[in-house]
Amino acid sequence: MREIVFDTETTGLDFEADRVIEIGGIELWNHIPTGKSFHHFIRPEGRKVDPGAFDIHGISDAMLADKPLFSEVVEEFEEFFGGAKLIAHNATFDMRFLNAELARLGRPLIEQNRIVDTLAMARRKFPMAPATLDALCSRFNIDTSRRDKHGALLDSELLASVYIELIGGRQAALGLVTVETTARGADGAEIRIGPRPVPLPSRLTAAEIEKHRAFIATLGEDALWWAYLPRETEATASA
């Protein structure tokens, strides 16, 4: 499953008048970062950065003077973000601004059913607890030492770590040992860990296996069992 964890910075708080000035996003595949990212500073047409917004993200009008317009990066944006589930913190804010930018260009809007809001996730999981990105990073011991101002790409990286913790931590699936490895016991001796070199013998007798086959036969041609254990291998699997 492909997901994009993203963040935006804007000239202010009014999505109808203010503009997006930074977009950052990182790609996850099955909840694991792939190393692929999207990042652009964007020159806002006809809009200056509000002082209050500058205090938060530190992006000035002078910094944006030579940056591309949203219209110049929109195709790259759509290619990177397209078809993926989109993860954001306080997603309503980001989506209003992005869809306003897309609407100005007559481009398809991002549908709400693609959005996951980590702010809402955190509030459900930790009722009454602080749910800012900084608070969640602190809760999950995620290093924020590089963050002195808000920044779309860095905040996306931090949010990806928070999101993985919110959905159950870094072990995304039950992982059983399938390859041989080694460990050391309490006495320092090396222990081999891995699949058994010789499978254990079946505990079923031949009579029990035959009884099982006879029972499965009574379930009919549409029995769900056959989808998992075809008839030609069922006896072997049972053994």
CATH code, domain carrying 27: 3.30.420.10
Judge whether residue 117 has pLDDT over 80. Answer: yes
Active site residues: 150
Does residue 136 belong to any structural domain of this protein? yes
Q: Mark whether 145 and 49 lie in a shared domain.
A: yes
Of residues 10 and 230, the one with the higher pLDDT is 10
Does residue 124 form part of some domain? Answer: yes
Q: Tokens at residue 200, please?
A: 């254990």
> What pLDDT is recorded for position 132?
94
Q: Give pLDDT tens digits for 16-38.
A: 999 999 999 999 999 999 999 99
Range of the domain at 216: 206-238
Q: Is 63 part of a structural domain of the chain?
A: yes
pTM (two decimals)? 0.69
**Could you tell me if 65 and 130 lie in one domain?**
yes
Does position 183 have pLDDT exceeding 60, yes or no? no
Question: What mean pLDDT is predicted for residues 105-115?
Answer: 96
Residue 188 belongs to some domain of the structure: no
Mean pLDDT of all residues in 187-211: 69
Residue pair 46/24 in contact by the 8 Å Cβ criterion: no
Asked if the model's pLDDT at residue 194 lies above 70, the reply is: no
How far is C-alpha 160 from the chain's CA centre?
6
Q: Are residues 214 and 136 in the same domain?
A: no
Q: Name which of 33, 12, 13 is nearest 158 in CA terms.
A: 33
Domain count, the chain: 2
Q: Give the tens place of pLDDT for each residue, 37-65.
A: 999 999 999 899 999 999 999 999 999 99
157 with 227, same domain? no
> Do residues 222 and 124 both lie within one domain?
no
Residue 200 lies in a domain: no
Look at 113 and 221; give whichever has higher pLDDT: 113
Domain membership of residue 201 (yes or no) is no
In sequence order, what DSSP letters do the residues of 1-63 get, joined into one string?
-EEEEEEEEESSS-TTTS-EEEEEEEEEETTEEEEEEEEEE-PPTT-PPPHHHHHHH---HHH
Q: Are 220 and 104 in the same domain?
A: no
Name the least confident of 11-15, 75-79, 149-153, 164-168: 149-153
What is residue 170's predicted lDDT score, i.e. its pLDDT? Answer: 60
Same domain, 212 and 121: no
Q: Are residues 122 and 214 in the same domain?
A: no
- 166, 194, 226 - which closes a domain: 166
Q: Does one domain contain both 105 and 24? A: yes
Place of tokens 């008839």: 231
Q: Are residues 45 and 101 in the same domain?
A: yes
> Within this chain, do residues 222 and 106 fall inside the same structural domain, yes or no?
no
* Mean pLDDT over each residue of the chain, to the nearest integer: 85
Same domain, 149 and 44: yes
Out of 141, 166, 191, a domain closes at 166
Average pLDDT of span 83-97: 96
